[in-house]
A and B are shown apart, each in its own frame.
Chain A
């Protein structure tokens, strides 16, 4: 309705005859050559192509997901029966800390950004992400950070103070050695990587949309990633600062968190949760975008209430910053302050509820096709509603104080995180796998995959609500038989076996389909958004011609001979820059070539981060190499054709 025609943003109308096939083939060859992905050993490190980096990011995040899963399995084995001594208390501390840390910092946030790195440039109709070299840098910093903490784990130096590393436990007095320092620097690594991608996404969405894709035609997934990117930009500086304080307290004797010298331990919790609560939404909001994409495609109907959906996403982004104290209800903060956070915590269920009802309305009006991605969405709705309800109960201070630090909380956040983010993510992978690889995933295995995960999930985590009511605390490595928690824990462990089977099934399906799946073709699902307009997998230049968008539903509103942009240079990596509101063409812009420098810079950065765990001298030592690599990164390539003696040419304005 709102997406009606007649508002297509085409500033320079110029109808030409259809280009002939020979000209198209020539253009294709030239674009292939211009946008080539560098080959060879060094080329692997120099690549700046968003699809390659996106695929690597996704694959790496899934390796960490598997590592996190193995750690979870170890915990479930340990807790299956009372008085178990499979893991000792010290090892158990490392295992649960690493499980949370790996899942949150090395899997959940990176995998969502990875999906955006791959999909956003395709969905907005451009050839690469903004700042492609920064993208490469981000990936390697993330990879090296992950490798660092895994190596620390293998040498028995894994962090062991919980995924939020509360001081004073993680401070110099109670965690001697380097365990907490590895944690603090892992945070730095992942935040640097995440912030870099966030800036790229904002710039790509605001300035690189295909003509015609005005703000009210941006796909919901892209909206969700835009909101996420803004949340990252405002939330992560708090934890970067917080973890730097922690490192400084431990390394050079500052007193930020030391009450004896005027510091404050609760300061850590404020800084951590000011980031940590938005973090939950940083994981969850992209999943909302994935759900919208899947629901629209598998009902073959536009999502009901586009504006309500977008406003809900934005509202979630704002309210998400007003909730952090609900993690601190048990710290003795003033009562009056707590009531505000109770209210905010309850209010955030409103935009989430609006979205749930919009999806239900969309499914209701359409005729849902229950393919695997859609099954995962339905599973998401069921699980997430349960997790959301237990969340509303936790927003109430008296109730929270009763169940604080029990398995009720563990159940709640696994319902919202696995249900709210991992189920949509797995659905999204089934959905976009054909686009990324060119082959379909097996539907039969997919259905089996869904049911094992869905049943396994509920069998594992539902009993934890009850264990929480029975008083079982979190983070204990074992419990005496007389507490009576044994049977339900055994049930949870049995569920975990199913979950692991589901995970293995997914990996098996992905690998088998990658090798021998049915060829997908460009648009196997009759999708709504632009990524389906190009080949599967997309060519290195994404689109032969930059498309001109004719409606909110780019593919469904497309005319038979779709309008396109011409005149972008094909002999250099030129992209079209458009304006923020209406996506009207503003200027053409050449993106940088692939380069080894971002990789070299990521090595120096990583050496600095790891070195500063051990000595403050890491800073002065790394300044020079850091400067050299940055200069190499930004040093311009001579371009005789862009020599600057011409005055600024104003873009041709739209008529009328």
Chain B
């Protein structure tokens, strides 16, 4: 059967930022999956809370020093993150490099602070169900931070050693989106781990 060409797509761009592109949909898909997991884990926390009278059950409250420092750091990272995203969408290689390096350093510091956070939980995962869910919540978030730090470091390296293509800038932009996701989830998880025992 002979065909009739009616659309010529050769002038179309070879990539697109945000929801016009394909990568955004993959990133968003996995953010929804992981977000569902966070929601479930938080529900489990409060479900377990309802099962006992005292919270934390016969354990001291967690200390908030390192955790709060980490919260402030992670919130502050939104700024360089926004700069990196904007620079990527303008194909500004110099600025992309700069902000990616800054973000990588922030990520490493956040992970170090996170290591100290574990020492301030004042419980072990095998003390009781409270300890189990607290460790799980913190670890679930830590896995995300660590993944993005490694991912960001590789992306930073790529932006230095090349080849730098249009699509690398899309990757930087989507990576920023994913970091926002990690930042946003830290707020409810921080409040739950450190303040639910005080307020509830």
Interface residues in chain A, defined as those with a beta carbon under 8 Å from any beta carbon in chain B:
10-16, 18-19, 130-131, 134, 195, 198-199, 202-203, 206-208, 211, 233-234, 236-238, 240-241, 245, 248-249, 252-256, 258, 261-264, 267, 270-271, 544-545, 548, 559-569, 574, 576-577, 579-580, 585-590, 627, 631, 634, 636, 638-640, 642-652
Contact = CB atoms under 8 A, between A and B. Distances in A.
A321 to B, nearest CB: 11
A644 B164 contact: yes
B129 A202 contact: no
7 closest A-B pairs (Cβ-Cβ)? A567-B10, A199-B29, A254-B132, A644-B166, A262-B129, A253-B126, A263-B129
B17 A638 contact: no
Contacts of B52: 262
B12 A563 contact: no
A11 B6 CA distance: 9
Contacts of B135: 254
A642 B6 contact: no
Contacts of A645: 91
B11 A652 contact: yes
Nearest to A650: B13
A248 B131 CA distance: 12
16 contacts: A12-B7, A18-B2, A130-B25, A134-B26, A202-B25, A233-B29, A254-B126, A264-B48, A561-B2, A561-B3, A561-B4, A565-B8, A567-B12, A587-B21, A639-B165, A652-B11
B109 interface: no
A103 B29 CA distance: 27
Interface in B1-41: 1-17, 19-22, 25-26, 29-30, 32-34, 36-37, 40-41
A564 B40 contact: no
Contacts of B136: 245, 248, 254
B91 A195 contact: no
B150 interface: yes
A560 to B, nearest CB: 7
B129 A587 contact: no
Nearest to B38: A237
B129 A590 contact: no
A644 B171 CA distance: 13
A11 to B, nearest CB: 7
A265 to B, nearest CB: 11
Interface of B: 1-17, 19-22, 25-26, 29-30, 32-34, 36-37, 40-41, 44, 47-48, 51-52, 57, 91, 125-133, 135-136, 150, 154, 158, 163-169
A214 to B, nearest CB: 15
A264 B9 contact: no
A327 B20 CA distance: 42
B7 A241 contact: no
A402 B200 CA distance: 40
A569 B20 CA distance: 20
Contact of A651 (B1, B12, B130): B12
Contacts of B20: 577, 579, 586-587
A588 B9 contact: yes
Contacts of B14: 574, 587-590, 642
B168 A636 contact: yes
A650 B17 CA distance: 11
Contacts of B2: 18, 561
A631 B153 CA distance: 11
B37 A241 contact: yes
B55 to A, nearest CB: 9
A577 B7 contact: no
Contact of A271 (B40, B125, B163): B40
A12 B12 CA distance: 11
Nearest to B35: A237
A587 B154 contact: no
Nearest to B6: A563
A589 B23 CA distance: 10
A248 B132 contact: yes
A225 B13 CA distance: 29
B51 A264 contact: yes
A237 B37 contact: yes
Nearest to A567: B10
A639 B19 CA distance: 24
B126 A255 contact: yes
A559 B2 CA distance: 11
Contacts of A631: 154
Contacts of A258: 129
B101 to A, nearest CB: 18
B168 to A, nearest CB: 7
Contacts of A563: 3-7
Contact of A255 (B33, B40, B129): B129
A586 B6 contact: no
Contacts of A564: 3-7
B133 A256 contact: yes
A235 B180 CA distance: 24
B4 A15 contact: yes
Contacts of B163: 636, 638-640, 643
A588 B14 CA distance: 5
Which interface residue of B40, B135, B150, B169 has the most chain A CB atoms within 10 A?
B40
Contacts of B6: 10, 13-15, 548, 563-565
Contact of B32 (A12, A233, A579): A233
A643 B164 CA distance: 7
B61 to A, nearest CB: 16
A353 B91 CA distance: 54
Contacts of A568: 9-10
B84 to A, nearest CB: 16
Contact of A19 (B3, B125, B130): B3
A586 B125 contact: no
A203 B21 CA distance: 10
A270 B43 CA distance: 11
Given A241-B41, A254-B132, A264-B47, A647 B9 contact: no
B128 A237 contact: no
Contact of B15 (A198, A211, A587): A587
B26 A130 contact: yes
